[in-house]
Chain A
Amino acid sequence: VTDDALRAVFESGAVYADRLDEPTRRAMAIDDPLTEPVAAALAAGRSVLITGNAGDGKSHLAQSALAALGDRRVAAVARSGPLPRDLAAGDVAFVRDVSAMSDQRALRSVADARGAGAAVLVTVNEGPLHALAAKRRGELYAQALRVVHARGAGDDPDDPDDLVVLSLAGRHLTHTRFVEEALARLLPTVRSCRTCAERRPCPRPIGAEQLAASPVARRRLGDLLRNLTATGRHITARELWVCLIDLFFGWECPGDPDEVARLPGFFWMRLFTGAYGPAREVAADFDPLRAPTPMHDRRLWAGEGAAPPGTPPASLARRGPEDAAAAYASAKRWWWFFEDGDEPDRLVSSASDALAFLDVLRAAQDDPDQVRGAVAERLNRYRLGLRDDDRVHVSRHHSLAAHRRTTVLAAAARVDLDALRVRTPYRWEARRYCDAGFLADRLLVGWDGVAHTLPVTYATWRILGGRRALSVQREHEAVDFALDLLMAQAPVAAAADAVDIDVFDHRARRHDHLRVNAVEQTIAMRP
C-alpha cells in the first residue's frame, strides 16, 4: 500500500476496519497484545466473546486473531443468508458484529456452532449483549455478560472454562504504544493542504516533520491524550485515529497569504483549539497557554524561539492585539511541545490533578489497599476538616432540605482502614493482559461486606481535594450526597452509653467536641 493510498484514507477520515480493504487494513494495523491470547484460545477450542463500545477495535482484533490462526477452518456468519453447515470440532465460527443481525440469528448461529463442537468468536456491542443475554438459548451471552458486569464492578471472576470474555470498554489505548505507532504510519503521509499545495509553506507538513523528528514532542502529545483516561474519558481506537488524523488533515489554509492566518493549522494549535472531541477535552484539562511561565513568556513574546511565525508577537502587536495574541499562543504551545527539560512536564502536573489521579488509579490497580489512606484522608478533610489518614471518621448530617447546603457535619464513630474497601474496574484484565492498556478510570469505594459503592471519579477526587462548597454547586451536592449514602453504610455499632462527637461547622470553620451520655442524659464539652 502506497503512502498515497493511505493518505486518501486519512483525508477521507473513514477509518472503519470493517470497510477498509485488506491491504490497507494491514498497512494501518497496529500490533495488539490481545491478538495472541485470542488466537491461542480459539486454537485450543475455546470460544471468545469480544465486547465493548462501537469503535473499540473489536472487529480489528477478531480479524487479527483469525489471521494468526493459520490454516484452521473459519466459517463467517454473515448478517443474512444460510448459516454455516458441517462445522466440526477444531473449526471456528466467526459471528461478526452481532448488533447488525437479528437476535434469532445471533442466538442460533452460536448454539449450532457450539453444538457441533466448534469454537465461536463473537464480536458484540454491550447493548445488544445485554438484550441477547435475557433470551432463551442465550446462555453464552448471559455467561459473558455476568463476567463483564462483575469485572466492571471491580470483582475478579475468572473466565469460564470454555469461554474467554474480553471487554474492550476497559481498555485505554492511550496507555499502549498505539499513539506512537499510529503517528509512525500517519506522519510520513502528510502533505500540504490544497490551498498551499507546493506554492508556499503549509502548517501541515511543517508540523508533521517537526513532530516526526522530536521524540519529546510525541511523548507529550501521548501524555495529554493519556491524561484524559484519568478524567473518565474512554477514547476508542477509531476516535484516536480520527483525532490524530484531524490534527494533520483536518485543516485547509485560507487563501490569505498572511502567515498569522495560517497559524491555527499547526498541530500544536489544533490540539487545543480543534473542534474534534478529544482535542476539546485535552484543552479543558490543560493548555500551556493558561500556564504562567514568566521567564519564558517574555522570551517568547520577544520572538526568541523557533516557533512560527517568523515575526515576533511583540512586533505583530503594532499591527493589532489579535495577531500578536495568536502568534504568542502558537509560540507558547510550540515551546511546550518541543522544549527539552522537565519544565513543560511540571506545568502539566501543577495545572492538572489528572496525573496524580492516574498514579492513584495505577496504585489501586496494583494493590487497592495502598490507596485506602489517601482516600480516607480526603474524606476526612472534605467533610470534617480533619487531617487523618489512619481511619475514616463517619461524618454525618441530618438536613432534610434539598434546596440548601448543610454547614454542620458531625462524627460519633471512627472506622479502621481495614474496613474500607477500595476496588477498581477491569483489574482482572489489567493483571492478565499486562501491556494491553486495561486501566481503571475510577475507584470504587465501599465498606467490607457492604454492597453499596461510591464511585470516585476524577471529578469527585478533585472536589474531595478542595474545600467543601457552601453555596449552591451541584457537583459538590452530588459528592456530598454520595458520601452521605456511603457513610450511612459504615460498619459501626451504636454505643450503649457515652459517645464522643466531633462537630465541624464549615461556615465558621470551627471544631467542637462533645461527650454525650444518652443513658445519664448529660452533654459536656471535651477539650
Chain B
Amino acid sequence: VTRIEPLELRSWFDEHVHDALGVGVLSTSPQPVHVVNGLLRHAVGDPRAAGAAVAAVASAPGGLAYPPEHVRARADGTLPGDDADLAAARAALRGLLAADGAVFRRYASFQIAHPALITNDPTDLSLGELAARLALEHGRARGALTRFAARLADPQPNPHWAAQAALADVAAQPAPPPAAPAADGWWADTNEGRPLARELGGLLRRAADLAAADTDALLAVHTLAQSATWAGLISYAQAPTLLGGGTLRPLLCQVAPPGALPTVRAASAQALSDVHAAFRRWVTSMLVSEVEVRFAGREPSRAALRSFLSGTIAFRETRDARNVQEQVLALYEQWRETTQSTAQAAAFALYDTLAAGLANKPQKWFAAVGRHCGFVGPRRGGGARLRVEQGLLPTLVLAGISANDGETVPFARWSRRLADRFGVLVGPDARTRAMHPRASEDELAANARALTDALAALGLARRYSDAVTDVLNPQVLWERA
C-alpha cells in the first residue's frame, strides 16, 4: 500500500478555506473599529505604535492599564501633571480614543480620526485586509484611500482629531509593516466571484470617495468601517455559493423591530442558516477535491484510504490523537455505507472531524461580526437572523448607488440594485417569493416600509404621500455647499 501524506486539518483549513475566502472566521472579536484599522493599515500603510495614546487610555481588567507615572513619562508633557487632572483627562480621552473598548496593552485599535493612530493590531482577523484587497484590486480605490489618509492628517473640526493629534507619536518610528497579502487564488479572482468582488470593491471605493471628499471625516470613517465589515460578511455569505457555480443567495433582512413580522423573521433566520449550509457544502467539496488530488484521481483501495485517514491530525490539538483517528475511521465506515465513492466518503468523514474541531466557529463569527455592524440580530440571545440596523444604513445606501446617479434614486430602483449586486432583499420580490419558508406579502411590504421609514428618519430618503420614496445620494447630499 502506497502511503499518502495524511491531512493536517488546521493547516488545510487555513490554506484552503481562509485563503480562498480571504477572511478568518474563527473568532468573534472583530469589530468595525478593528476592521477600519486593518483596512487603512493594508491600504495606506505606515502604522505606528501610538505609545502615548495607548499609555493614556489602554484598558486592563479593573480599569486603566498604566499608572499615572508611566503615562506622564510616555506622554512626554502632553498630559496634565496634576494627578486629579490627569485622571479626569484620561477618562475624557478614553471616550474620544477608545469608545469601542478596543485599546489594550498589546493590541490597540483606536477610533481613528488621525492617521497617527493606525496600528498593527491584527484583531480584525483579515477583514481589513480583505476590504483593502477588494478596494484596491477590484474597486480602483487606491487614489481615494490615499487622499483620505492625507486628509486625515489635516486639521478636522471634530474633538477626536484634536485629541488624537495631540497624542500622536510623531517622533516615533513606524511599527513594523504588516505581513504581505495572502497568495492569489482567492474567490474574488475567479470568474464566478469577480462580479461580486467588483460590486464590493465599488462600494468601498464610494465609501473612500466620500471620505476623501469634503464630507465630515468622522462620518466617512464610520461609513468606511461599516462598509468594510459588511464586505467581509457578504463575502462569506455569497462566495461559497458562487464558487459552486450558483447565483447570489437571497439574503432577506428584517428591518422592522425584532419582535415584529414573524414570517419575515422566520425567512430571514432560514436565509442565514442556508448561508452556513452553503459554507459547509463548499468546505466539503474542497475536501473531496483534496482527497481526489491526493489519490491522483484514482479510486483508492480501502486499505490505502484507511491508512490515509488514520494519519489525520485534528483541527485542535488533543492529547488523545489515537481516539481522533479511530473516530475518523468510524465516520468513514458509516459514510461508506451510504456513499458510492470511497473518496467522497473519506471527505465527508474528514469534514465531520473538522466540524467537531471548528465547533460552530464560523456561525458564531458571522453572528458576532454581523451584530457589531448591524447586519445580524437580535443583539442578545439565540435565533440569529439577518437584519438591518440603523448603523448599517449609510453603507446600504452607498451599496445601491451608481456612478451616474444624481441627487436621488427611486427606492424601487435602489432596492433592486441591492438585490442584484449583493443578494440583499427586504421587500416583495420574485426572489423572496421563491424562499422557503416564504414570508407573507403583507409582511414583506411592511418590512420594505420599515426600511423607507428608517431611511427617512435619518434624512437619507424623502418620503412622499402614496409611499413614494426617493433615496438620497450621500455623494451629493453630504457634499458641503
Report A's interface with B, CB cutoff 8 A. 51-54, 125-127, 130, 148-149, 152-153, 167, 169, 234, 394, 396-403, 406-413, 449-455, 457, 460, 472, 474, 477-479, 481-482, 484-486, 488-496, 499, 501, 503, 505, 510, 512, 514, 516-518, 521-525
The residues of B that contact A410 with a CB separation of less than 8 Å are 92, 95-96, 159-160
Q: In the complex, given contacts A449-B481, A489-B478, A495-B162, what are 16 additional A-B residue pairs having Cβ atoms less than 8 angstroms apart?
A: A401-B33, A402-B392, A406-B99, A408-B92, A451-B472, A452-B477, A484-B222, A485-B458, A486-B459, A493-B157, A494-B161, A495-B155, A496-B155, A499-B159, A512-B88, A523-B79
Tell yes or no: B457 within 8 A of A by CB: yes
Secondary structure call for the A interface: mixed
Contact status A521-B219, CB under 8 Å: no
Contact status B111-A494, CB under 8 Å: no
Known: A149-B462, A398-B218, A474-B257. A521 touches B155 (CB 8 A): no
Contact status A408-B390, CB under 8 Å: no
Contact status A512-B92, CB under 8 Å: yes
Tell yes or no: B226 within 8 A of A by CB: yes
The residues of B that contact A514 with a CB separation of less than 8 Å are 89, 92-93, 163
Contact status B465-A169, CB under 8 Å: yes
A450 — nearest CB in chain B belongs to which residue? Answer: B481
Q: How many Å from the CB of B259 to the closest CB on chain A? A: 11
A477 — nearest CB in chain B belongs to which residue? Answer: B390
Tell yes or no: B381 within 8 A of A by CB: no
Contact status A398-B113, CB under 8 Å: yes
A400–B39 CA distance with the chains assembled, in angstroms:
14
Contact pattern, B 447-481, Cβ under 8 Å of A = 1, otherwise 0? 00000001011111010111110001000111111
Please report the number of residue pairs spanning A and B whose Cβ atoms sit closer than 8 angstroms. 221
Residue A518 contacts which of B165, B257, B480 (CB distance < 8 angstroms)? B165
Residue A494 contacts which of B79, B80, B95, B154 (CB distance < 8 angstroms)? B154
Contact status B89-A400, CB under 8 Å: no
Q: How many Å from the CB of B480 to the closest CB on chain A? A: 7
Report B's interface with A, CB cutoff 8 A. 31-33, 36, 77-80, 85, 88-89, 91-96, 99-100, 111, 113, 154-163, 165-168, 215-216, 218-219, 221-222, 225-226, 257, 371-374, 379, 389-394, 407, 454, 456-460, 462, 464-468, 472, 476-481
Name 20 A/B residue pairs within 8 A (Cβ), A-sorted. Answer: A396-B159, A398-B160, A401-B31, A401-B32, A402-B372, A408-B96, A412-B157, A451-B472, A454-B459, A485-B458, A485-B460, A494-B156, A496-B155, A501-B92, A505-B91, A510-B91, A516-B163, A518-B155, A523-B89, A524-B89
The residues of A that contact B481 with a CB separation of less than 8 Å are 449-451
The residues of A that contact B464 with a CB separation of less than 8 Å are 126, 130, 148-149, 152, 169
Residue A400 contacts which of B95, B154, B221 (CB distance < 8 angstroms)? B221
Contact status B467-A525, CB under 8 Å: no
B220 — nearest CB in chain A belongs to which residue? Answer: A488
A52 — nearest CB in chain B belongs to which residue? Answer: B465
Q: How many Å from the CB of B267 to the closest CB on chain A? A: 21
B222 — nearest CB in chain A belongs to which residue? Answer: A400
Residue B95 contacts which of A402, A454, A505 (CB distance < 8 angstroms)? A505
The residues of B that contact A512 with a CB separation of less than 8 Å are 88-89, 91-92
Contact status A402-B373, CB under 8 Å: yes
The residues of A that contact B215 with a CB separation of less than 8 Å are 488
Contact status A396-B158, CB under 8 Å: yes
Residue A403 contacts which of B371, B393, B454 (CB distance < 8 angstroms)? B371
The residues of A that contact B374 with a CB separation of less than 8 Å are 402-403
Contact status B480-A489, CB under 8 Å: yes
Contact status A503-B459, CB under 8 Å: no
A89–B163 CA distance with the chains assembled, in angstroms:
71
Residue B458 contacts which of A409, A451, A481 (CB distance < 8 angstroms)? A481
The 3 A-B pairs with the shortest beta carbon distances in the complex, nearest first, are A408-B95, A402-B391, A402-B374
Known: A410-B159, A488-B216. A523 touches B166 (CB 8 A): yes
Residue A398 contacts which of B221, B454, B465 (CB distance < 8 angstroms)? B221
Contact status A516-B466, CB under 8 Å: no
A484–B391 CA distance with the chains assembled, in angstroms:
11
Contact status B154-A130, CB under 8 Å: no
The residues of A that contact B390 with a CB separation of less than 8 Å are 402, 474, 477-478, 481
Contact status A403-B379, CB under 8 Å: yes
Residue A399 contacts which of B111, B158, B457, B458 (CB distance < 8 angstroms)? B111
A290–B333 CA distance with the chains assembled, in angstroms:
70
Contact status A399-B478, CB under 8 Å: no
Contact status B80-A524, CB under 8 Å: yes
Q: How many Å from the CB of B9 to the closest CB on chain A? A: 32
B96 — nearest CB in chain A belongs to which residue? Answer: A410
Q: How many Å from the CB of A149 to the closest CB on chain B? A: 6
The residues of B that contact A454 with a CB separation of less than 8 Å are 459
Q: How many Å from the CB of A1 to the closest CB on chain B? A: 32
